[in-house]
Every structure is written in structure tokens, then in C-alpha cells.
């Protein structure tokens, strides 16, 4: 598969790092709601996608009209939305049982799966250096999580399923990037997630306080903005090339977990983050970046 003519690898790297910062901030708010506010999971997922959808309708529908939902790949758009909503649900579920940093670390097998799936599904060439870099990132995750430790209860399956679903979501994002309007793609993500997550609301809805409502709106805005940046990122670089930079979310999650919940990384976690950073640096084609400036 050929990259779009306007591809710009450096821009893609910067966009993906900003996107994952948004996701880390969203996850921090979600964990606060689930653990400290004891708010139900289902309405929280609905808020994530419902706020996103309403924000886009208010902002874009007057200008775009039906173009907001006009797509040549409706099946892929719906499937992509289902995968992302499922990924969100499993990750939020993991936050009710696991610390934020550990849940994020386990979910970081996702970039490895993206690289592996990009070859057979998108027919993209995965170079030896990219595999080496992604391997370093995966090794860093293993150092942080330390298989055999207390984190590896059966609850660890939740972020693992989240990782698989999100990897498939990223591959589909790459498949339609540059072929569909990015705003239409973003809206379908919100629409599918909002409709599906609304189904259990009659049984699970809990009226939020003013502060809880502010957090729920924040979750929706951060999630929507992050996924818009993700769409733009994969218009400039392949999922395999971006995969190592997704690992920066682990650093943001660790820092935000410390400030929000007092979870301080131990020496093993710091070593793991250093290995992940090394993997990201190895993946950078500095000569290509120099030529693209």
C-alpha cells in the first residue's frame, strides 16, 4: 500500500504523541470516576462517545450537513467504531481492578500487534529496524509489568483484549485514511460508540453531580480530540512506523497516575520506560525526517 502524497513522517510522529497524551488524560479522569467517585461503567462509556458526538454535531453539522455522514466505506466505518468502543470498554473495566500504569503497560502489546497486522492486512513492508525498535518497546513493557508478579491476575485479560481490538482499529484507520474525510471518520467513531453504549443506559444510568458531569464532558472532549489527531497521524505515516511513539502514552500515564493517585513508579518501571524510549529512538529514520523538512 502506498502512502498518501502529502505524507510527512515527522508530523505523524508529533501528532501521535499528542494524541496519546489526550488518551492518558482521558484515562486518568475515567479511573477517578470509576474508583473515587464509584460511578457506573456503562454511563461513563456513553459519556465518552455521546459528548464526542454532540460536540461534532453542534460544531460541524451546520457547515457540512449530510457530508458529515457521507462515506464510501460504511461497513469499515461501523466496524472501526465497534472495535474502538469495545477497546474502550475493556480498558475502563481493567481500571476498576488494576492501577492505571499497569493497565496501560499491559495494553501496550497493541503497537506490536499493529506492526504484525500491517504486513498481512495492509501489505506494508516491515523493516528489520522497525521490528527491533518495537521489540525494545515490548521488552520495556515486560520489565514494567514483570510477568509472574501481582499484576498478572485474570483481570489482566481486560487490557489484553483492549490491545487486540485497538490494534485492529488502527489497521482499519490506516486503510481508510486519505480516502475518507477525517471528520466523517471521526464522527462515525462517535456515532457507533454512542448508539451501542446507550443500549444499557435504562438499567445503569446514575444522575451525575456537577463535578462528575464536568469530568464526563472532559472525557468525551479528550477522547474525540485524541482520535482526530490519531486519524491525522496515520495519514502521514504507517501504523508500524508510529507504533514505537505510541509508547509515550506509558510515560504520560505513569506521571498522571502519580499526581492523581499517588502511584510512584519503582526502579523496574523506570528501567522499562528507558528501554521503551530507546526503542522509539531506534525507529526514527532521521535522514528521512531531515529531507522532509
Q: pLDDT of 47-85, one tens digit each?
A: 999 998 998 898 888 888 988 899 988 899 999 999 999
pLDDT greater than 80 at residue 181: yes
Q: What is the mean pLDDT of residues 144-166?
A: 75
pLDDT greater than 90 at residue 200: yes
- Where is pLDDT greater, at 140 or 258? 258
**Of 186, 151, 162, 173, nearest in space to 242 by CA:** 173
**Chain mean position to CA 284:** 21
Give the confidence band of 283 by pLDDT, cuts at 50, 70, 90. Answer: low
Q: What is the mean pLDDT of residues 180-205?
A: 91
Range among 63-67, 108-112, 135-139 rated most confident: 63-67
pTM: 0.79
Backbone dihedral angles phi then psi of residue 180, each to the nearest 5 degrees:
-125, 150
Give the confidence band of 290 by pLDDT, cuts at 50, 70, 90. Answer: very low
Residue ranges per domain, the chain? 9-292
Backbone dihedral angles phi then psi of residue 5, each to the nearest 5 degrees:
-65, -25
**Of 176, 255, 190, 197, nearest in space to 221 by CA:** 190
pLDDT greater than 80 at residue 134: no
pLDDT digits over 14-26, tens only? Answer: 999 999 999 999 9
Q: What are the helix and strand counts (H, E) for the chain?
A: 14, 0
Predicted local distance difference test score (pLDDT) of residue 151: 56
Backbone dihedral angles phi then psi of residue 263, each to the nearest 5 degrees:
-90, 110
Give the confidence band of 292 by pLDDT, cuts at 50, 70, 90. Answer: very low
* 150 neighbors 98 (Cβ within 8 angstroms): no
Amino acid at each position: 500500500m502506498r502512502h498518501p502524497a502529502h505524507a510527512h513522517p515527522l508530523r505523524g510522529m508529533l501528532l501521535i504523541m499528542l494524541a496519546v497524551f489526550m488518551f492518558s488524560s482521558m484515562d486518568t479522569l475515567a479511573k477517578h470516576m470509576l474508583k473515587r467517585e464509584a460511578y457506573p461503567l456503562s454511563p461513563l462509556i456513553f459519556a465518552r462517545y455521546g459528548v464526542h458526538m454532540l460536540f461534532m454535531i453542534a460544531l460541524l453539522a451546520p457547515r457540512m450537513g449530510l457530508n458529515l455522514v457521507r462515506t464510501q466505506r460504511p461497513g469499515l466505518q461501523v466496524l472501526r467504531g465497534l472495535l474502538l468502543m469495545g477497546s474502550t470498554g475493556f480498558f475502563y473495566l481493567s481500571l476498576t481492578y488494576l492501577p492505571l500504569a499497569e493497565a496501560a503497560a499491559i495494553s501496550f502489546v497493541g503497537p506490536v500487534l499493529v506492526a504484525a497486522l500491517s504486513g498481512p492486512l495492509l501489505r506494508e513492508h516491515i523493516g528489520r529496524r522497525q521490528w527491533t525498535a518495537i521489540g525494545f518497546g515490548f521488552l520495556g513493557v515486560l520489565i514494567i509489568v514483570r510477568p509472574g508478579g501481582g499484576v498478572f491476575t485474570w483481570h489482566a485479560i481486560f487490557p489484553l483484549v483492549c490491545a487486540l481490538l485497538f490494534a485492529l482499529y488502527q489497521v482499519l484507520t490506516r486503510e481508510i485514511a486519505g480516502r475518507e474525510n477525517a471528520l466523517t471518520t471521526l464522527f462515525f467513531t462517535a456515532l457507533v460508540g454512542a448508539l451501542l453504549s446507550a443500549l444499557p443506559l435504562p438499567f445503569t444510568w446514575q444522575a451525575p453531580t456537577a463535578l462528575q458531569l464536568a469530568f464526563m464532558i472532559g472525557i468525551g472532549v479528550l477522547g474525540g480530540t485524541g482520535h482526530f489527531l490519531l486519524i491525522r497521524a496515520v495519514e502521514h505515516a504507517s501504523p508500524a512506523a508510529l507504533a514505537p511513539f505510541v509508547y509515550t502514552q506509558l510515560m504520560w500515564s505513569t506521571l498522571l497516575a502519580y499526581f492523581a493517585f499517588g502511584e510512584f513508579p519503582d526502579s523496574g518501571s523506570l528501567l522499562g520506560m528507558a528501554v521503551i524510549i530507546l526503542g522509539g529512538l531506534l525507529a526514527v529514520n532521521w535522514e528521512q525526517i531531515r529531507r522532509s523538512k
